[in-house]
């Protein structure tokens, strides 16, 4: 198996200013893992989670959810056929993550709600993909200037409410989708970046946020996980200009692979400035330029 499969990827979780000011740890987590399909071809698996601000072990829950999801994806994929990329498979993955969280809670003598977290996942093969999500945050796919969220972030009755994988009715909240085509570029992000990365009026991805980030990642000379861009992503997520827009923890996974289609799509991107673009909320300060990547808390969400 060619381990990188021509993908270039970076990922990071950084604490928001609220957690940094209080000395609290980051409650987000993310993970990326190379898996192998039964025919030996490489498959990229991604996971991101945001621990509930009200949960005592939010970070532990988020990390365990990501690690378990990828481990269970590896076990499933080892025997999966094309026909097995189904909602039932996704529900089984979610159940096993819930079991791992339940066991950890029991071992520590805590109710499972103390490990509550959202969960986003993606499994990307050469010509098909599987996506799942419980809670807020977003999975965005596309290429060039054409980006779209696979699902819209889940929110409850109130603005600061969402759903968690530890909820009793989590299976009913599961968002699931598959694509029978290659995914060229993908981003997973937690809700700390939603106001920057999503256009709420149109319920679409905000392309000017993603375009410079993917342009820089595409330019990496070799496939894989470039350490210089990894460090740059961490600096970008902790930049003062970004922290002026959100006090929340922030997680971002970016992955791209070259194709003729992607090259043609980005050949002539529209000249729209990030500063002048319409981002929700309408009265928010200008979005920092994601081109910083080239050089350089979750508030207490409550389950509904």
The CATH number given to whatever domain includes residue 47 is 3.60.40.10
At residue 145, the pLDDT reads 75
Q: Which residues contact 185 (CB under 8 A, 6 or more apart)?
A: 141, 142, 143, 147, 210, 214, 254, 255, 256, 257, 262
What distances in angstroms separate CA 240 from CA 17, 23, 234, one per listed residue? 9, 18, 12
The rounded distance, in Å, linking the Cα atoms of 188 and 57 is 22
For residue 281, whether the previous peptide bond is cis, meaning omega lies within 30 degrees of 0, is: yes
Q: Which domain holds residue 131?
A: 8-297
Q: Helix (H) and strand (E) counts for the chain?
A: 9, 14
In a domain, 161, yes or no: yes
At residue 27, the pLDDT reads 95
* Low-confidence stretches of the chain (pLDDT beneath 50): 1, 260-304
In a domain, 22, yes or no: yes
At residue 280, the pLDDT reads 34
Q: For the chain, what is the domain count?
A: 1
At residue 161, the pLDDT reads 85
Question: Please, what sign has the CA dihedral across residues 303, 171, 137, 159?
Answer: negative
Which helix H or strand E contains 212, and what residues bound it?
A: helix 207-218
Q: From the centroid of its chain, how far is CA 107?
A: 28
At residue 1, the pLDDT reads 45
C-beta neighbour count of 84 within 10 angstroms? 12
At residue 299, the pLDDT reads 35
Quote the tokens at residue 230: 């990894």
Instruction: Find where tokens 């977290």 sit.
Output: 117
Kindly report the pTM of this predicted structure.
0.85
In a domain, 3, yes or no: no
Torsion of CA 232, 220, 27, 95, to 10 degrees: 180
In a domain, 303, yes or no: no
Pick from 120, 125, 128: which is nearest to 150 by CA? Answer: 120
The rounded distance, in Å, linking the Cα atoms of 216 and 222 is 13
φ, ψ of residue 187 to 5 degrees: the values are -135, 140
């Amino acid at each position: 198996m060619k381990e990188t499969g021509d993908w270039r990827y970076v990922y990071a979780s950084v604490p928001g200013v609220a957690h940094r000011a209080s000395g609290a740890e980051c409650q987000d987590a993310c993970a990326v893992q190379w898996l192998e399909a039964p025919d030996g071809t490489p498959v990229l698996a991604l996971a991101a989670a945001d621990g509930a601000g009200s949960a005592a072990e939010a970070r532990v829950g988020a990390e365990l959810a990501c690690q378990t999801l990828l481990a269970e994806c590896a076990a499933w994929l080892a025997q999966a056929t094309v026909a097995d990329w189904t909602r039932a498979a996704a529900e089984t993955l979610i159940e096993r993550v819930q079991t791992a969280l339940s066991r950890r809670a029991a071992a520590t003598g805590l109710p499972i709600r103390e490990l509550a977290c959202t969960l986003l996942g993606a499994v990307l093969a050469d010509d098909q993909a599987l996506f799942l999500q419980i809670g807020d945050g977003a999975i965005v796919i596309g290429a060039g200037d054409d980006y779209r969220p696979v699902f819209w972030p889940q929110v409850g009755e109130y603005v600061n409410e969402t759903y968690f994988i530890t909820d009793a009715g989590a299976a009913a909240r599961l968002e699931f989708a598959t694509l029978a085509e290659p995914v060229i570029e993908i981003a997973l992000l937690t809700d700390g970046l939603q106001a920057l990365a999503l256009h709420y009026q149109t319920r679409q991805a905000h392309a000017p946020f993603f375009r410079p980030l993917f342009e820089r990642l595409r330019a990496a000379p070799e496939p894989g996980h470039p350490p210089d861009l990894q460090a740059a992503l961490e600096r970008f997520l902790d930049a003062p200009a970004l922290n002026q827009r959100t006090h929340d923890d922030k997680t971002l996974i970016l992955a791209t692979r070259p194709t003729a289609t992607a090259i043609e799509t980005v050949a002539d991107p529209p000249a729209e400035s990030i500063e002048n673009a319409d981002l929700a909320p309408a009265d928010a300060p200008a979005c920092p330029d994601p081109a910083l990547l080239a050089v350089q808390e979750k508030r207490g969400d409550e389950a509904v």
